[in-house]
Amino acid sequence: MNDAIQPKLVPARPVREVASLRELSARVGSDPLLVQASNGNASIKLDGILWIKASGKWLAHAMREDVLVPVELAEVRESIQNGAEIAPHDSSKNELRPSIETAMHTVLRHRVVIHVHSINTIAWAIRLDGPEQLKERLGDLYWKWIPYTASGIPLAREIEKAAVGAQETDVFILGNHGLVICGPDCETAEKLLYEVERRLAITPRQFPKPNTAILGMIAQFSGWQFPDVDSLHALGTDPVSLKILKGGVLYPCQAIFLGQTMPLVPPALAVSKFMEHLNRKHRTPPFVAIESTGVMLNEKMTSAERATLVGLVQVTQRTEESARLRYLKCAEVVKVLSEGAHGCKKVVVKGEEENSPGEIERSHEKHDAVYNLNTRVS
Ligand SMILES: [Zn+2]
């Protein structure tokens, strides 16, 4: 009888553990202060297999669709060594492609790894004095600061280097990027994630109210509408946020989803000149921030762009005016946009692979290629 039961018992542990990771993914992915759209990823290592979020999938959807893809750890290690592309466990059956951060998850020795674009962490990770500031807040934890490095194998190598001789490290702060938390199981890792969040929490600044009379006039133009999230107006009405935005790109997702140059409109511009100004300066952007007035959204804005914009305003509202910031360098932004920091390295031609898992990421990569071409030549 034992023999009959045994085969059913063998896969029980992996099934249960993968289910725990899906539950954790859905919880973490549903918190806009941790994850925006398809960014962030989570993984678990079980019997030589790494179960990791697929590229382009949303962690928030983990309970309603397949978002995890299995990859052979040994194969990934070999790919890292050779600098080759990482493929799913059975690529003939599996249409999902593993996250670009698969290499990073693989080099970490911990069974469970969670990577999030935590708003509170990013607000520290964009500061030049970030490492010193975090020493005070994370001092007694096993943590490391990783200066900005491009996603994929380069980031994995930096993390691996940092962990040499410090194998106990289970918190990594990624400069101009986000947070990585590790643990022996889902429960422990999630607990540590919320402990780090608690320590890094910043209260967002209050901001002046929008000028709805002027915004109402802009709403008369076809395709422009009021945001459904009030805090977005801060990008137009809060002078500190505006100043920060004018400085450049703070992290890859900002460039990928919202463009290299923020669509800012001067306050004195007559409403009648609004469309003329936009057409001259930008390809129709997903949003526009009117200085001292507020923000308006384009009706064609995607959910991923919206989630990224909501995240961006949360970061700028948590950043002090006196903080000296490290913006992404021009070459770093160009690399992000040409290779796709969170998607794939292939630029897709319009109409190709429209429904594939990484479609959102690739389409934005394409969007920005056009968007930035305009801004580069001007
Ligand atoms: Zn990331």
Ligand 1 is an ion; its neighbours by CB within 5 Å are 178
Distance (angstroms) between ligand 1 centre and the Cα of 100 equals 9
Mean pLDDT, residues 191-202 taken together: 98
Reading the block at residue 66, the tokens are: 């397949």
Distance (angstroms) between ligand 1 centre and the Cα of 117 equals 6
Give whole-number Cα distances, 235 to 231, 238, 243, 368, in Å. Answer: 8, 6, 9, 20
Tens of pLDDT, residue by residue over 87-128, are 766 665 667 899 999 999 999 999 999 999 999 999 999 999
267 and 293 Cβ atoms separated by less than 8 Å = yes
pLDDT tops 80 at residue 257: yes
Distance (angstroms) between ligand 1 centre and the Cα of 342 equals 7
pLDDT tops 50 at residue 285: yes
Three-state SS at 192: helix
Which position has the token pair 């479609």?
359
Segment holding 365, helix H or strand E: helix 359-377
Backbone angles phi, psi at 171, to 5 degrees: -135, 125
The rounded distance, in Å, linking the Cα atoms of 66 and 258 is 27
Distance (angstroms) between ligand 1 centre and the Cα of 300 equals 25
Number of H helices and number of E strands within the chain?
Answer: 16, 11
Tens of pLDDT, residue by residue over 323-332, are 999 999 999 9
Distance (angstroms) between ligand 1 centre and the Cα of 232 equals 22
The rounded distance, in Å, linking the Cα atoms of 52 and 102 is 7
The rounded distance, in Å, linking the Cα atoms of 20 and 167 is 25
Segment holding 319, helix H or strand E: none
Bridge partners (DSSP) of residue 44 are 51, 112
The rounded distance, in Å, linking the Cα atoms of 217 and 210 is 13
Distance (angstroms) between ligand 1 centre and the Cα of 178 equals 6
The rounded distance, in Å, linking the Cα atoms of 263 and 284 is 9
Which of 219, 222, 188 has its CA nearest to residue 290?
219
266 and 291 Cβ atoms separated by less than 8 Å = yes
Tens of pLDDT, residue by residue over 129-172, are 999 999 999 989 999 999 999 999 999 999 999 999 899 999 99
Distance (angstroms) between ligand 1 centre and the Cα of 340 equals 12
User: Residue 302 has what DSSP assignment?
Assistant: -
The rounded distance, in Å, linking the Cα atoms of 20 and 15 is 9
Which position has the token pair 């500190």?
240
Which position has the token pair 């001092």?
139
Reading the block at residue 305, the tokens are: 């762009």
Neighbours of 248 (CB within 10 A): 18
Distance (angstroms) between ligand 1 centre and the Cα of 13 equals 29
Q: What is the pTM of this model?
A: 0.85
In this predicted structure, what is the pLDDT of residue 361?
A: 36
Q: How confident is the model at residue 344 (pLDDT cuts 50, 70, 90)?
A: very low
Tens of pLDDT, residue by residue over 71-83, are 999 999 999 988 8
Distance (angstroms) between ligand 1 centre and the Cα of 111 equals 19
Tens of pLDDT, residue by residue over 288-298, are 999 999 999 99
